[in-house]
Structure 1
Amino acid sequence: MTELARLKFYATQAHPCSYLPTEQATTLFLDPSQPMDAQVYAELSEVGFRRSGDHLYRPHCQKCSACVPARLPVADFKPNRQQRRILSRNADLQVRAVRPAFSEEYYDLYARYIEQRHADGDMYPPNREQFSTFLVRDLPFSRFYEFRLGGRLLAVAVTDVLPNGLSAVYTFYDPDEEHRSLGRFAILWQIAETARLGLHAVYLGYWIKNCRKMNYKTQYRPIELFVNQHWAILT
């Protein structure tokens, strides 16, 4: 194992929180001179770190602990009735793993998704540079999982394949296909893929109890939260 105590980290100045408008946030980053190594990344994910672009980070707020790392241990997961319906509804999709790269097809889908689903967020309005910096990183462990109906691209799950599981970085999808519940299906597919690969968990990023957009994460059970420096099942 890596000696994590030897790694260097840097904290940002306080800035407006993306999730809780009344709060100020501080973020802890791994020193960007540290190579983006899958083993280091996996070990940091065990203590709540995530990837955004070329950076590994974790919330480091002094007065707020609302952002709670969440993961799904796949061995014990059983889809509920609604999730089984979503799986059935999307059984006609084909999934292919490719290395991250920029294409107009990807960007057009991403832009429509942001414009229609997240126009109130800090990623609006979308642009090509933002898309590339955030998601199109040629890292050995990163994948674009394409979800297609025939040749038509419906969704992309940007996912990191790590020694301890899959880290769900971001998913964007066709906002006109609402009936398919593509965001939820992408999570269900990643759960199945994690089990197929013999890995432990899907890392879902941060759950925030008072943030409506984060509530979907607790619909997958059992879900573990990283609280007081250890993972515990949410009851």
Structure 2
Amino acid sequence: MTAQFRFPRFFVTTPGPCPYLPGRTERKVFTELSGPNAADLNDALGRIGFRRSQGVAYRPTCVDCQACVSVRVVAHEFKPNASQRKLMRRHADLEVSQCKPWTTEEQFALLRRYLKARHPGGGMAQMDELDFADMVEQTPVKTNVIEYREPAVDGRPGRLVGACLTDVQADGLSMVYSFFETEDEQRPGLGTFIILDHIRRATESGLPYVYLGYWVEGSPRMQYKTRFRPLERLSAGGWHRFDAPHPVEKAEAFFAPSKLSQLI
């Protein structure tokens, strides 16, 4: 009998500087996502800690280091703390749109501002418009760009203040990459708001999880991910609740019961 799926071939990158922990090196294992079973393969690999980049699924496989830990929010159990509820109210006027994975000049300009402010020396800092188009448009799975805009003025679309490249997986939404205005005093916390909106979308779609990528112990810029509880982390024994210390704030129900919407 012919096997239904061909077992993927995996490759390992050469070691390079770690982007999260100074003085360390990183190495990744990866495989190609292609053919009619690309989405199923991506779903299966996502459940064991892989991430997608264009037509490739990858995960860290560093020698003597396991600092990168896959994390996901349990969407239907999530309850916001006081500061998160405040952000939801503050940005409630934003118009959120689900777009096909096609790039625009406006998105690229926002990305450039975001990278300049947050990651000026990062690996994406030198991206041009073609690189950005490849990142967004080369996808073998169901992918959307979620845009966040200020209210329309005189019938014209409002200013784009945030965007997220999002994969729809069988068990959740995977936030591949988000970018947003970082220096607008009237729009603080947009990164947090985008995650909160994805938790809402997953809950309304009946999807149990929102995948946030990797949490890196010892990397300050990754600590924001621990603010979304309950959070699960992947270990050799499977997924289990994250137990890192975090501030305790009174929480209340985030979503009222509603009819499940279609997958985004």
Q: TM-score range with shorter-chain normalisation?
A: over 0.9
Instruction: Give the whole-Å Cα distance in 2 for the aligned partners of 1:147 and 1:3.
Output: 41
Q: What root-mean-square deviation, in Å, do the aligned CA atoms of Structure 1 and Structure 2 show?
A: 1.9
Q: TM-score, normalised by structure 2?
A: 0.83
Query: How has the CA–CA distance of structure 1 residues 177 and 71 changed in structure 2, closer, same or farther, with 3 Å as cutoff?
Result: same
Provide the residue aligned with 1:187 in structure 2: 195
Cα shift at 1:172? 0.7
For residue 163 of structure 1, what is the aligned residue in structure 2? Answer: 170
CA shift, 1:114, in A, is 0.7
Question: What's 2:252 paired with?
Answer: none
Residue 34 of structure 1 and its aligned partner are, at CA, apart by: 5.5
Residue equivalent to 1:99? 100
Q: Which amino acid aligns with 1:14?
A: P
Q: Secondary structure at the match of 2:166?
A: strand
Structure (1 or 2) with the larger CA radius of gyration = 2
Range that drifts further, 57-66 or 183-192: 57-66
Match of residue 229, structure 2, among 200, 215, 221: 221
SS in 1 for 2:165: strand
Partner of 1:19: 20
If each structure's helix is expressed as a fraction of its own residues, which one has the higher value? Answer: 1
Shift in Å, 1:71: 0.4
Query: In structure 1, what is the Cα distance between the partners aligned to 2:47 and 2:116?
Result: 33
User: 1:32 Cα shift?
Assistant: 5.0
Work out the CA distance in 2 between the residues paired with 1:34 and 1:12.
Answer: 23
- Unaligned segments of structure 1, at least 5 residues: none
Q: CA–CA distance in 2 between the matches of 1:213 and 1:17? A: 14
**Percent of aligned positions with the same letter in both sequences?**
36
Q: How far did residue 5 of structure 1 move? A: 8.6
Task: Classify the secondary structure of the residue corresponding to 1:6.
Answer: coil
Deviation track 1:81-123 (CA, whole Å, cap 9, x = no partner) reads 0100010111000111011112111111111111122113222
Aligned pairs for 1:45-124 within 5 A:
45-124=46-125
Change in 2 beyond 3 A, CA 1:36/1:102: farther
Report the AA paired with residue 161 of structure 2.
L
Q: 1:201 to 1:121 in 2, by over 3 A?
A: same
What residue identity is the alignment partner of 1:210? G
